[in-house]
Amino acid sequence: MREEPLLTVAPTSIRSVAELYAVAFHQAQRAVRHYGTPGKNIGKSSQALRPVFDSLASREQARADALRDACIEACGSPPDPQHLPAAFVDLVPAQEVADISMSDLSTPYTVWALAVRQRQRAFIYWTYVAALATDAAVRDAAERLARDALSDGNVLRRERRRAWQSEHASGEQRGDRDASAALLESLLRRDVIAWSRTLPPAQRTQLLQAGALAQQAYEDDPAEDIPTPSADDIDSVRERALRRAEQLSSVYLDEADKAIDQGSLELAQKFAAQSIVRLAELRAAAQFAP
């Protein structure tokens, strides 16, 4: 399990398709700059990293070009930086790239792993935006960008795997993450049920549905052994539920990284997408808690 979340700042709500393309285009342009800088300045001791950074910069440039064209088609004009929101999430932080490019321990595998992490971050970001969107066009566009990030991530994982195989003996060890996910799901379920018991009936039903994965719900399984939190305890219950929901998103993304076949990969990615939507809905519910 990751020790820190991929996104340290939750995305703000995007209000229009023009704003969405402005954000996506700006993210891609920054990624081009951040991947391109070490590609130009890497020292002789790290020459093996240069073609990887160059490849990533080219991929991001192609993404920026495609986003510009899509914005012109959808909005009649290219992405406008005036539409950028005040809070901007950088999907490829310059410091992460610098740490790898300047380290004598870095290898091509390390750079490909960074790229995979970036596309995972994009997947989380756009899935979150889609979950928060009130405009159907924004939601549809965000979902497309999330699917694109998922597809890109799969391609980059293959490159990362090839790099690993060239640097190490083949073979991967799989941790007992299934058990971790099952335990966290059970604990989260108890927290959500406890939280729901402090709410009016309509809000209770909505929270229980938000707290479950996909169509699974537990209104008919109230778990009578779960006590109703006191007024002094409810804040800690909510915070614990949000923390566990975020942990589960990381667990499922890690499962996708460790998948050894297509079926396992698709299942883990499905659960990751659902858990990110769940996290967004639980956070929204917590904001309006009494």
- What's the CATH class of domain 17-167? mainly alpha
Contact by Cβ (8 Å): 21, 138: no
Identify the pLDDT of residue 32: 94
Q: In the predicted model, is pLDDT for residue 271 greater than 80?
A: yes
User: Cα–Cα distance between 151 and 201 in angstroms, integer?
Assistant: 40
Q: In the predicted model, is pLDDT for residue 216 greater than 70?
A: no
pLDDT tens-digit profile of 35-44? 988 766 665 5
Burial of 73 per CB tally in 10 Å (0-12, 13-18, 19+): exposed
Q: In the predicted model, is pLDDT for residue 170 greater than 50?
A: no
Contacts of 281 (CB under 8 A, 6+ apart): 131, 210, 211
Q: In the predicted model, is pLDDT for residue 74 greater than 80?
A: yes
Identify the pLDDT of residue 172: 39
Contact by Cβ (8 Å): 200, 267: no
Is the pLDDT higher at 42 or at 265? 265
Candidate from 232-246, 254-268, 271-285 with smallest mean pLDDT: 254-268
Instruction: State whether residue 87 is helix, strand or coil.
Output: coil
Cβ neighbour number for residue 105 with a 10 Å cutoff:
7
Q: In the predicted model, is pLDDT for residue 67 greater than 90?
A: yes
Angle subtended at Cα 124 by Cα 122 and Cα 129, rounded to the nearest 5 degrees? 95
Identify the pLDDT of residue 147: 93
Identify the pLDDT of residue 224: 57
Question: Which amino acid type is present at position 24?
Answer: A
Average pLDDT over residues 229-234: 84
Identify the pLDDT of residue 49: 87
Q: In the predicted model, is pLDDT for residue 168 greater than 80?
A: no
User: Cα–Cα distance between 253 and 255 in angstroms, integer?
Assistant: 5
For the chain, the average pLDDT equals 81
What predicted TM-score, i.e. pTM, was given to this entire model?
Answer: 0.63
Confidence of residue 59 (pLDDT cuts 50, 70, 90): very high
Candidate from 1-10, 58-67, 134-143, 167-176 with smallest mean pLDDT: 167-176
**Distance between start and end Cα atoms, the chain:** 32
Is the pLDDT higher at 126 or at 217? 126
pLDDT tens-digit profile of 100-142? 887 777 888 889 989 998 998 899 899 989 998 999 999 999 9
Domain boundaries in the chain? 17-167, 177-287
